[in-house]
Amino acid sequence: MADFSIGEKLEAGVDRLSWSSWISLTSRILAVNILPLALLGGGIFYLDGYRKQLLDERYKLARIEAQITAEALAGATRERQEALLIQIGKEQLMRLRMFDAEGNLWADSFELDEPAFSFGNPDEAPWQDDLARIMDRGVDAIVGAEPIPDYIEPEEARADSWPELARAQEEGISQIQLRDAPDGTPVINAAAPVGLKGSTLLTTRNAVDITETVRSARSTLVSAVILALLISIALSLFLARTIVLPLRSLAKAAIRVRLGREREVEVPRLPDRKDEIGLLARAVSDMTDALRLRIDAVEHFAADVAHEIKNPLASLRSAVESLARVEDPELRKQLTDIASHDVRRLDRLITEISDASRIDAELSRAKFERIDLAVLAAAIIERREFRHENHSLTVNISKPLGGVPVHGVPVRLERVIENLLDNAVSFSPPDGQIDVLITANEECVALSVSDQGPGIPVDAREKVFSRFHSVRPDAEAFGDHSGLGLAIARTIVNAHDGTLTAHDRDDGASGACLVMKLPHPPRELS
């Protein structure tokens, strides 16, 4: 009852989560673990592309600003030029510097008026900014970004201290250069020639807004990743529940089955689950049922063995004990014959029991091979004729032209045919006939052995395959058969995925027909 309640609770829990039981565990585990990583990785590369796009747009703007400013400065008086530098610097939050043809600095908006911006001091920044800079460097390392030179003011205020000015003067068009400010924000320098006398203009902009925009988006990404991580944790717990609970219940049921304390223990089959857990549950349940059947069969077999051995042992004991008290030579000879017969009977019985008890295990380890059933049957019949094992009976074999291949263990299939022939010989009348017919169709290969004996009643056609079930002819000496022959034969045939059944003769004559059907060999062996 306790195990049934466990199964009920488990089934109830599974019903609430039935929608997930159709998805394989591998897919669920991968989805749970990949979700936050995919979100983080995709977000990182997206933000890097977004930052590059913002910088490209700012490069274009800086180039246009430098060209327009240079055109406005060209031809203007010095006073007008200084006024333009101050005005544009304040309005656009830039630093503008002009150099003459010799490369000397002769105008600087930061010296002409108050600076339009200042770089942040990383030593005075809060810890959040330090963390943001560390994240910036980490992202650059992940995406493989090219290193950016630091922005450092030259000791000498000359044009040749700025490579972009030299390129602008040489090529005659504006040039862009990106550098890193001390606080990690981008600094965009734009250089452009001014007029035709060799003067140059250098504009400097601290694009703090780009960094702030990217960091803000990154903060949103981090929040999304944290949310995805929390969802992943929740899904992992959910996944653990769908895995651990049924496995724990299966483990408890398996332990109780192993202890053998309650034969009524019901292993949950979880029929609604179509994933690996459901397959495992049903496999364990089927294995448990098969184990119980095997245990029951062993117990019944042991009881039957004990019963069968007791009879000849009792007879042998009685004969041996009587020998000491009997003086009549004729009676002593009879008792000696009885004892000898019982010893042979015990020997035969023990041999058959030993064979029957280990045949399943041997077949489970045996290597199957391709066999021509017709050739095997013909060889067995010929050998029996040579040894006079068929007595005065005629054994006819009919087989199709060509081979009749099957897949199996030759020595075991030989044992089946021998047992079928022994049974037919036992029940056939003197000078009778035994017919062995081998056929093959699209479904299977069949071998039938028909005798001319009394036949097998319909209600006994399954009993004849039971262990120790023996209904022998009246003329046969008692104890000459153990009652295990047909049982062993059926066990071997079943291990070959075949069937062994009893029928009437097809021609309507008196007698029994035992039919063995085996599957065709696998295609790769054909």
Q: Where are the alpha helices (DSSP H) in 17-92?
A: 25-73, 78-92
Shared-domain flag, residues 421 and 517: yes
Under a CB-based contact definition with an 8 Å cutoff, are residues 448 and 515 in contact?
A: yes
Query: Domain boundary residue among 161, 192, 219?
Result: 219
* pLDDT, mean of residues 60-89: 90
Same domain, 500 and 353: no
> Predicted confidence band at 1 (pLDDT cuts at 50, 70, 90)?
very low
Tell me, yes or no, whether 414 and 502 share the same domain: yes
Query: Based on the domain organization, do 443 and 461 belong to the same domain?
Result: yes
Q: Do 200 and 192 form a contact (C-beta atoms < 8 A)?
A: yes
Residues 486 and 521 grouped into a single domain: yes
Q: What pLDDT shows up at residue 327? A: 78
Same domain, 517 and 474: yes
**For 480, which DSSP code?**
S
What is the per-residue pLDDT for 438? 93
Q: Please give the Cα distance from 64 to 108 (Å, whole number).
A: 20
Predicted model pTM: 0.45
Where residue 492 sits, what CATH number does that domain have? 3.30.565.10
Say if 93 falls within a structural domain: yes
Last residue of a domain, one of 219, 249, 276: 219
CA–CA separation, 173 and 170 (whole Å): 8
Name the residue range of residue 187's domain: 57-219
Is residue 201 domain-shared with residue 306, that is, in the same domain? Answer: no
Is the predicted pLDDT of residue 229 greater than 50, yes or no? Answer: yes
**Are 116 and 89 in contact, with CB atoms under 8 Å apart?**
yes
**pLDDT band for position 317 (cuts 50, 70, 90):** confident
Between CA 493 and CA 46 the distance in angstroms is 67
SS3 (DSSP) at 369? strand
Q: Which helix (H) or strand (E) holds 516?
A: strand 512-519
Q: What is the pLDDT of residue 222?
A: 75
Q: Do 361 and 373 belong to one domain?
A: no
Instruction: Give a yes or no: residue 43 inside a domain.
Output: no
Regarding whether 169 and 134 lie in a shared domain, the answer is: yes
Do 309 and 327 fall within a single domain? yes
Residue with structure tokens 């769908």?
Answer: 242
Q: Are strands 199-206 and 186-194 parallel, antiparallel or unpaired?
A: antiparallel
**Same-domain status, 385 and 482:** yes
Residue type, 177: Q
Q: Are residues 148 and 96 in the same domain?
A: yes
Q: Look at residue 6 in the predicted model and tell me its pLDDT.
A: 41
Number of folded domains in the chain?
Answer: 3
**Which CATH number covers residue 123?**
3.30.450.20
pLDDT category at 450 given cuts 50, 70, 90 is very high
Structure tokens of 152?
Answer: 């450092």
